[in-house]
Amino acid sequence: MTDATANSDAFRTDRRNPDGTVLRATTPAQWFGDDAPLADERWLFIVPHDDDAILGAGLLLQYAHHQGIATRILIATDGHQGYTRIEDRAHIADIRRAETRAALAALIPDAPSPDVHWLNFPDGRLRHFAGRFAAPAADANADADADAHNAFAYEVVAGHTGLANACTFHLRRFAPTRVFCCTGADLHPDHRALHEEILISLFHAQGSIWPELGAPLSHAPTAVEMAVYCPFPALPQLRLVASPQALARKLDAISAWASQTQIATLVQTVREGGPEEYFRVVDFPAYRPQMYRAHFTP
């Protein structure tokens, strides 16, 4: 944690307003355009795969740490399909879990222990775990090729499972002020599926549905998209500019996924991008019939 002067030296946060002006924000609240006290900020990252949070927000995670903001990373998949060498196939989930912890340690060396949690849904099949449903019996909670990788032990809460169950539960439990997700415009089906589930879970978490998953949120978290492989579906409003040292830590962190033999290409792409990241706040305008009245008014 550092003081405000050091923060402003190490990180610059810009907000592009609808009128095209760009505001240099001095606090996270100003950046997001509200008045949340810094002490109340809690940032939840819900990502499909272990490397998505650092690829999309490796600088932002460092900024959050410098601001003293409580952060938690939820990783939806177990990563079992992410092997690039046949000899890793049986243990890739364990290998990637260790690499993830090493990556977070490289990203923020002075963090006591990163708050990271795996939901363990099967990698590459998130779309089949949309919604919420009663958890199958324990002996059915296994995959046909379970002996080829770590057997699934996806998260069950209150006898139910599914991405909406997990997201609603964790949103209520962590009560974030901001929720970060990968855009739904990505080509990767896991990214698309999780994006959809997070957005609907934001509504569930604020309502009274499924009371066994916790008390409804008393506030609406800001939904924020980060881009990983494909561009944003619409212009991002937020930019974070960090120091070359912060970019170096992000690159070191990404390099920790040594099992991903294609990682050098990704590192090169991130290096060329420089020490900046962009984020898009997602608005949910509620439908009102009067929105369309003018279209039918001569």
Contacting positions for Zn ion (CB under 5 A): 48-49, 52
* Cβ nearer to Zn ion, comparing 82 with 114: 82
- Three-state SS across 26-38? CCHHHHHCCCCCH
- The string over 90-123, giving b where at least 16 C-beta atoms fall within 10 Å of a residue's C-beta and e elsewhere, is ebbbebbbebbebbbbbbbeeeeebebebbbbbb
* Cβ nearer to Zn ion, comparing 49 with 204: 49
3-state helix, strand, coil in the chain (%, to 5): 45, 20, 40
* Cβ nearer to Zn ion, comparing 28 with 79: 79
What is the smallest separation between the CB atom of 265 and Zn ion, expressed in angstroms? 15
What is the smallest separation between the CB atom of 191 and Zn ion, expressed in angstroms? 6
* Cβ nearer to Zn ion, comparing 70 with 230: 230
What is the smallest separation between the CB atom of 194 and Zn ion, expressed in angstroms? 9
CB 51 within 8 A of CB 254: yes
For Zn ion, which residue has the nearest CB? 49
* Cβ nearer to Zn ion, comparing 48 with 214: 48
Nearest CA-CA partner of 59 in 254, 223, 280, 222: 254
What is the smallest separation between the CB atom of 103 and Zn ion, expressed in angstroms? 14
Beta-bridge partner residues of 277: 240
What is the smallest separation between the CB atom of 52 and Zn ion, expressed in angstroms? 4
What is the smallest separation between the CB atom of 99 and Zn ion, expressed in angstroms? 14
CB 192 within 8 A of CB 234: no
CA-to-CA distance for 66 and 3, rounded, in angstroms?
Answer: 8
* Cβ nearer to Zn ion, comparing 48 with 275: 48
Reading the block at residue 81, the tokens are 């399909």
